[in-house]
Structure 1
Amino acid sequence: MAASTLTDTLLDSSLPIVSDSGALASVANRSQPRPPTLQPAALTGPGTSAVCALHGPDTTIQVQGSRWKPIACVVLVELFKTGNILLGKVVVDGGMFVFSLLCYRSILGAFFILPFALLLESGKWKELDKHALGWLFVNAFVGYSLPMALYYNGLHDTTASYGVIFSSLTPLFTFVLSIFLGMENLHLKSKEGSAKVVGALVCFGGALLISLYNGKELHLWSPVIEGITKSSNGVVGGHHHLRGTLLLLGECICYAFSYPVLVKVLKVYPWKHWSSVLTCVLGGLQTCAIGIIMRRDKLAWQVGWNIQLLTIVYSATLGTAAKYWLNLYAVEKRGPVFPPMFNTLSVVFTMVLGALLLGESLTVGSLLGSAVVFSGLYMYLYGKAKELHVKTTSGSSNEKLQVQPTQLKV
């Protein structure tokens, strides 16, 4: 059986291993050693209200649901993501040590996901061996510790809206990486392949426009939240624009490289709930160790009853556990391409609320670049949706399509 592409694994996902930064870092939809069975033509179509991606060796189960519930779920996910970004911007600009934030939120997030692992995958932790633990450690570093550290430092040097735009480019970086690794074919002669390639190029063009062109600044409101650290020129945060851009690009590249690692994790340890818990724990231990090496003073690790504690609790509950299950529900009801279609909402929410609450100025360049990025992203998602539709409808109508993670020789 031919293996699916890496971007299939990215889009055919329901549960984030570590949820954050606006990027949709996800686990492939497997909780059993055998792959789930998908009903052909269940992923697309104007009247589709269900996707058959539930687990079972040889069974196909349709999950029916009302049309508005999946939409409400993904809108809430984008709102929670916006809250994560804005709170993160406030605390890092206020001087909170980035690695203490990452350590606390990761460990706390593991506790909130643990009950689901105990209930739904009871006893599966016993199957964990040293080989799987090693891959989980690598996944935690490449998929959480390193990219999140780059993200928050990049967020400190730029703005919340700037950071969320770059995070939305992660699927495109993954697509490009999969081409270089020989895991995805371009298929330029097909409409689906052409749409994906053109969409990727348009997105990168929009990102360059945002990075290189500012234009006129639009100051809409005075900030509601006062007391944010400002630089000597009065701008929120450090605003080392070039450095922040490079850090955010590094975050996207790290997430792109994390998906081949994630595929390997799913091969050696396919239990996604326990994988999520263990990745959170290992990510917390990694960021704790790195943080202690960088700063050993107790002040860097102290958290009072203030917005720092609120940020940690929020990111662990709504930003990790709630997003975890809302994404699962939306994917099961409407298919793997459905949640990414709403990624632009978090960009809009962040721009508006960042200007309203934090006093961030909007520029003509950021607005134009965002529009270009949105256009390219939807072109890419359109091509991906059509590609999935072709795969599910190819062959006999009685055949069942099985989706497996890409097999990597590493």
Structure 2
Amino acid sequence: MGSEMEESKEFVGEKNWKKTIFGRLKPYLLCVFCSFCYAAFNIISMVCLDKGMSRYVLVAYGYVFGTVATAFLALLLERKIENKISLPACIDILLLGLLGTSGRIVFYAGMEYTSPAFASAMNNLVPSITFILAIFFRMEKLNLLKLSGQAKIAGTIIAFGGATLMTLYKGITVVSLHASHTHAASKILIYRNLIKGSLLLLFSDLLAAAFYIVQATAVKKYPAPMTLTTLSGLSGTIMAIIAAAVPDHRASSWRLSLNITLIAPLYIGIVIFGITTYIQTIVVRTNGPVFVTAFRPLITVIVAIMGPFILGEALHLGGIIGATMIILGLYVTLWGKEEEKQSSSHQLETPVICDQEIEIRSQK
């Protein structure tokens, strides 16, 4: 009888241990999956834009397909959840739609002036900008007297330095699958496009960081992630259609064919605006917005590997050094955040132990 009880305890302990390990790895695995989705998104979007599709129409179709997909999933997964939408939640939903639509349009514009690899490298600034906004809105703490706080500041400065280097310095071609002969006039045009595209991408990073901040507050006010994703997608759809109708009134711009112009909106809508946004909402609710944005560098690595083979892009020395600095700065910031988290959890555990010791002594 005793041996059976011991075996059952061991089984329960092993089961709990597996649950604990999976529970810890789950947010990491979900964020890695989202990184692969976003890497493919950058490549597919660039191919579609090169085919002549309007960036406004691409965003609008993406939101349409994404809203339909998430509405279906919300009906299946969250139909039993009853949550009334308050006025503050409605404001957050409208903000999410506005930030998501404008951020995606500006991102496409910046990517057209540069490249998917450059755009994904600049996107690594999103964690640093998110961290700054989180401090401003008191979602993150910063203590400059501690090493963790100093690491956060140093990492942010290094990341922004890398972005500046990528913008101002192109350098020699390191990797290129196609021979290129560029004249002086075309070099000046490329440099101007690089600066223009970098500024657009920097603005899109600011909008993306603001999106994560609003998302973190919205999910607390309306704890139904898929329904929240659907409502914010519906808000984005309305705004994207209005934004697309203003510069382009031609009906031919909205025509979809059985090629990349259909595949791209479907992928963007279902996978990016639907599945990955829902996954990020879940992870933001449990781990915060800074954790979600920490996996941006993985997108850069994937796109940098895929870009030369699919799009024939060239990798330049300035881009490689700048991207390395951004990634280094990002992980210095994350190290500081993790150190701060461990020290705060240790401080919370200490009083509990003392109370238990006092209780034992009083019983004696």
Question: TM-score w.r.t. structure 1 length?
Answer: 0.71
Q: How does 1:205-284 map to 2 (within 5 A)?
A: 205-222=161-178, 233=186, 240-266=193-219, 268-284=221-237
Report if aligned partners of 2:213, 2:289 keep a CA contact under 8 Å in 1.
Answer: no
Residue in 2 that maps onto 1:145: 101
Cα separation, 2, equivalents of 1:151 and 1:176: 20
Q: Which residue among 277, 289, 302 is the counterpart of 1:349?
A: 302
User: What are the superposed Cα offsets for residues 32-63 of structure 1, whole Å, 9 maximum, x if unpaired?
Assistant: xxxxxxxxxxxxxxxx988xxxxxxxxxxx65
The equivalent of 2:346 in structure 1 is 393
Structure number having the greater helix percentage: 2
Structure 2 matches for 1:7-406, cutoff 5 A? 63-65=20-22, 73-122=30-79, 124=81, 127-129=84-86, 132-142=89-99, 144-180=100-136, 184-222=140-178, 233=186, 240-266=193-219, 268-324=221-277, 340-396=293-349
- Of residues 316-325 and 97-106 in structure 1, the stretch that sits farther from structure 2 once superposed is 316-325
Q: Is the 8 A contact 1:158 1:239 kept in 2?
A: no
Residue aligned with 1:240, SS: helix
Q: How far apart in 1 are the matches of 2:239 and 2:323?
A: 34
CA distance in 1: counterparts of 2:172 and 2:251, whole angstroms:
43
Distance 1:182 1:295, change over 3 A: same
SS of 1:396's partner is helix
CA–CA distance in 2 between the matches of 1:140 and 1:330? Answer: 19
SS at match of 1:262: helix
Larger deviation, residues 331-340 vs 373-382? 331-340
Instruction: State the Cα distance separating 1:71 from its structure 2 match.
Output: 5.9
Kept in 1: contact 2:229–2:277 (CA 8 A):
no
Whole-angstrom distance in 2 between the partners of 1:235 and 1:346: 29
Change (3 A) 1:175 1:74: closer
Aligned-pair RMSD on alpha carbons? 3.5
- CA displacement at 1:115 relative to structure 2: 3.6
Per-residue displacement from partner, 1:309-352 (whole Å, max 9, x unpaired)?
A: 11111222333444356657888999987655543221011112
Contact 1:156 1:238 in 2 (8 A): no
Deviations 1:127-171 (A, max 9, x none): 1255532331122102x0111111001111111111111112112
Q: For residues 49 and 166 of structure 1, what CA distance do their matches in structure 2 show?
A: 39
**Contact 1:49 1:66 (8 Å CA) reproduced:** no
Residue 150 to residue 267, structure 1, CA distance change in 2 (3 Å) = same
Cα shift at 1:259: 4.3
Structure 2: distance between partners of 1:173 and 1:203: 10
Does the 8 A contact of 1:93 with 1:237 survive in 2?
Answer: no
Unaligned runs of 5+ in 2: 1-15, 180-184, 353-364
Distance 1:131 1:193 in 2: 32
Structure 1 unaligned residues grouped into runs of 5+: 1-47, 51-61, 224-231, 400-410
C-alpha spacing 1:75/1:299, structure 2 compared with 1 (3 Å): same
| 1:295 alignment partner, SS class | coil
Q: C-alpha distance in 1, partners of 2:217/2:26?
A: 33
Residue 103 of structure 1: CA displacement?
1.2
- Give TM-score, length-normalised by structure 2: 0.79
**Given the superposition, is the C-alpha separation of residues 388 and 112 from structure 1 closer, same or farther in structure 2, using an over 3 Å criterion?**
farther
Aligned residue number for residue 23 of structure 1: none
What secondary structure does 2:176 align onto?
coil
Aligned to 1:44: none
CA separation of 1:253/1:336 partners in 2, compared to 1, >3 Å: closer, same or farther?
closer
Query: Tell me, what secondary structure is at the counterpart of 2:22?
Result: coil
Structure 1 Cα separation of the partners of residues 273 and 103 of structure 2:
16
For residues 17 and 140 of structure 2, the distance between their equivalents in structure 1, rounded to whole angstroms, comes to 29
Identity of aligned residues (%): 25
Other structure's SS at 2:36 match: helix
Contact 1:219 1:362 in 2 (8 A): yes
Instruction: Please tell me whether the aligned partners of residues 124 and 327 of structure 2 are also in contact (alpha carbons under 8 angstroms).
Output: no
Task: Answer yes or no: is the 8 Å Cα contact 2:226–2:278 preserved in 1.
Answer: no
Larger Rg: 2
Which residue of the partner structure matches residue 58 of structure 1? none
In structure 2, relative to structure 1, the CA distance for the partners of 1:328 and 1:260 (3 Å cut) is closer
Q: How many angstroms does 1:96 deviate by?
A: 0.8
Distance 1:139 1:323, change over 3 A: closer
Aligned length: 332
**How much does 1:76 deviate?**
3.1
Q: Determine the structure 1 residue equivalent to 2:355.
A: none
Whole-angstrom distance in 1 between the partners of 2:191 and 2:344: 48
Instruction: Kindly state the Cα deviation for residue 255 of structure 1 after the two structures are TM-superposed.
Output: 2.3
Q: Deviations over 1:381-407 (max 9, x none)?
A: 1111222222333223686xxxxxxxx
CA contact (8 A) 1:105 1:315 kept: yes
Instruction: Kindly provide the amino acid, as one letter, of the partner of residue 74 in structure 2.
Output: A
CA 1:222–1:330: 2 relative to 1, 3 Å: farther
